[in-house]
A = this chain, B = another copy of it.
Amino acid sequence: MSDSISIRSLGSRVGETVRLLGWIRNHRSSGKIAFLIVRDGTGEVQVVVARHEVDEATWQTVTDRVAYECSVVVEGVVRADERSPSGVELTASRVEVLGDSSNDYPIQLKDAGVDFLLSKRHLWLRTSRQTAIMRIRDEVIKAIHDYFYDHDFVLVDTPILTGSIGESAGTLFETEYFDLGTAYLAQTGQLYVEAAAAALGKVYCFGPTFRAEKSKTRRHLTEFWMVEPEVAWLDSEGNMRLQEEFVTAIVGRVLERRLPELEVLERDTEPLRAVVPPFDRLSYAEAVEFLVSKGSEVTWGDDLGAEDEAILTEGRSKPLFVFDYPKSAKAFYMKENPEDPTTVKCNDLLAPEGYGEIIGGSQREDDLDKLTARIHEEGLPEEAYDWYLDLRRYGTFVHSGFGLGLERTVSWICGLPHLREAIAFPRMMSRLDP
């Protein structure tokens, strides 16, 4: 089928006779003329079928046999058409159905509930809104790999199945692992990239992570992708600068290469264009003071919730760093702040427009005694962390890193209210299929 061409490439073939393979997105016909919208994954195009210009088989096909999402081969001449988004349409000489569909195609143009659409996710993906999101997600991922490659980071894949545990016990998926007992599905690759940073300097992991959290908010998925860079000899201040540059590079890349898809999503791109360094910064203490002045009941020591984040970012056009949280609110591995041992050298990065936290980052505790004490305080099993403590026993080093949630970032850039559309096959408390 190598003599067919993609719909995206039609613009350069005006006047030529071409052959397309694709699916019928929509169709209508009168007695003398029929219009088909054909999509092929690279774009869509209107196909005009005039009864007097085609043979009887083609006319029968377009009036009686085509149905939503049937697959077709179309031959015809490319015409310039200023009214169409793609700038072209096709005047058909032949249309043939390759794979039938039916009039009860599950996803019709009329509105369907989200739960129904999720149950038909394998078909819902074919709609123009969903393909636009998938292409932007792909661009974000490629921008991430390119950024790190160009800055001499090494991708180090960290294990999913692990005997150690990362952050929050109690929200771990478990599985039986041969004769070795229980394995857990990783919630983070961080402990492993810390080991890799001592070997390779600048590293990152990028893979799926899992939270068995009984949470039903629009900001949570059970299975989501996270990218986690880790850098030797980088402190908390440098870590925030890296985050600024990295997020700016991702947003800039989507604006540069995925404007048509942002347009399909009707995304206002003005706020995205404001994403340039330096980002705004508030210490946790300043943030709490501000929140209290706005009537929040947060008190020093609490972690900040989604509502607090919304108040903090209201009216801002850039992402906002909140840094140096209380030790009690954050994970055991964060470095104690030498200037205020009740806090740790860490930051969250909050997206503007109410999208909330997209990054959590920190300098890591590099002092063996302090880290060991924190593991005991948290009641974590020291044996499981013995290898991790080795990184402080043998040539400990200043290092920092962060985790950026892919679906949260894609949702923000695409302007999606819920994470579930930012991944092809979302997993949530109530959804494991398809």
Chain A residues close to B by CB (< 8 Å): 1-2, 4, 6, 8, 21, 23-24, 40-42, 68-71, 98-102, 105-106, 120, 122-123, 125-126, 130-131, 134-135, 137-138, 141-142, 145, 149, 152, 154-164, 173-178, 180, 183, 185, 192, 195-202, 207-208, 210, 212, 214, 222-223, 225, 232-235, 238, 366, 387-388, 390-398, 423-425, 427, 429-430, 432-434
Contacts and interface: CB of A to CB of B under 8 A. Distances in A.
Nearest 7 CB-CB pairings of A with B: A41-B201, A99-B396, A122-B195, A387-B434, A71-B395, A125-B199, A41-B200
11 contacts: A4-B233, A23-B198, A23-B395, A105-B394, A106-B390, A134-B196, A158-B424, A161-B173, A161-B432, A164-B433, A195-B434
A242 B388 CA distance: 43
Contacts of A160: 160, 185, 208, 210, 223
A177 B69 CA distance: 33
A393 to B, nearest CB: 8
Nearest to A224: B157
- Name the residue in A210, A391, A397 with the highest tally of chain B Cβ atoms < 10 Å from its Cβ: A397
A329 to B, nearest CB: 27
B157 A433 contact: no
A197 B23 CA distance: 12
A130 B208 contact: no
Contacts of A23: 198, 395, 397
A222 B161 CA distance: 9
B175 A174 contact: yes
Given A21-B232, A164-B434, A130 B1 contact: no
Nearest to A99: B396
Contacts of A142: 145, 149, 155
Nearest to A423: B157
Contact of A395 (B41, B101, B131, B214): B101
Contacts of A138: 154-156
A99 to B, nearest CB: 4
Given A1-B234, A192-B424, A397-B99, A430 B158 contact: no
Given A155-B142, A156-B134, A159-B223, A71 B397 contact: yes
Contacts of A173: 161, 175-177, 183
Contacts of A238: 1-2
Contacts of A430: 178, 180
A22 to B, nearest CB: 8
- Name the residue in A101, A398, A432 with the highest tally of chain B Cβ atoms < 10 Å from its Cβ: A432
Contacts of A196: 125, 134, 424
A175 B196 CA distance: 29
Nearest to A433: B163
A391 B122 contact: yes
Given A125-B196, A161-B173, A164-B433, 19 more contacts: A1-B238, A4-B233, A70-B394, A71-B397, A100-B396, A101-B395, A102-B393, A105-B394, A122-B388, A125-B200, A135-B200, A138-B156, A157-B225, A157-B424, A158-B424, A159-B223, A160-B185, A183-B432, A208-B208
- Name the residue in A99, A135, A145 with the highest tally of chain B Cβ atoms < 10 Å from its Cβ: A99
A212 B157 CA distance: 20
Contacts of A214: 178
A130 to B, nearest CB: 7
A223 B163 CA distance: 14
B134 A394 contact: no
B432 A390 contact: no
Contacts of A122: 192, 195, 387-388, 390-391
A98 B174 contact: no
A6 to B, nearest CB: 7
